[in-house]
Chain A
């Protein structure tokens, strides 16, 4: 059974940093691209970032470029999102999602339950 378990969310002040983790199991992690998608309270889905299966390619939404870093450790079956210079508008539930292929296709067939990040003073 595929499982994705996010952790690391919480309350952080504007300008602060947070690292999210996503522990994967039930599939061959190193074969699939992985994404982070967020959803602000009461709002729609917003794609944040993707990393290729090997980890050598990463892409970001303009809203987080230069502040967030996505990376993965295929030996630990874990995906990460390092978030720096956090802003109020980064407040959201952050989901990790598995792509159907090794590179971004936009078809995420498994999602975690999400972890809430709240940026507030």
Chain B
């Protein structure tokens, strides 16, 4: 159950778009369309922002979008805003009927 691979940090200026990658294997990301993304502000519980690769829960801004190609999933945030500064985690269902998270990515809005 190795963690999915995410960049430790990304940054962007307000109004720009950024993309966070999440790389796994054919036993997790590549094998199932059960990739989720979470936003977590310091001291707070995670918030689901993308599920099943590219679906947004009700109430989540359409500036957040997800995609997948092979063993790598991606989260794109367009029109970057100051309040987007946060930690982001991907997760994937695995062939062992478990869940694995990425190591997390700290997004800095410059």
Contact = CB atoms under 8 A, between A and B. Distances in A.
B1 A107 contact: no
B46 A111 contact: yes
Contact of A111 (B1, B45, B57): B45
Given A61-B1, A62-B1, A107-B51, A95 B36 contact: no
Contacts of A44: 3, 89, 101-104
Contacts of B36: 106-108
Contacts of B92: 106
A88 B36 CA distance: 29
Interface in B17-36: 34-36
Given A44-B89, A45-B38, A95-B46, A35 B99 contact: yes
Given A45-B101, A95-B45, A97-B46, 7 more contacts: A45-B89, A45-B104, A47-B98, A59-B98, A105-B52, A106-B35, A107-B51
State the 4 A-B residue pairs at the shortest beta-carbon distance, nearest first: A107-B51, A111-B45, A47-B99, A44-B104
Interface of B: 1, 3, 34-36, 38, 40, 45-48, 51-52, 57, 89, 91-93, 96-104
20 contacts: A44-B89, A44-B103, A44-B104, A45-B38, A45-B46, A45-B101, A45-B104, A46-B101, A59-B97, A59-B98, A104-B97, A104-B99, A105-B93, A106-B36, A106-B91, A106-B93, A106-B99, A109-B51, A113-B45, A114-B45
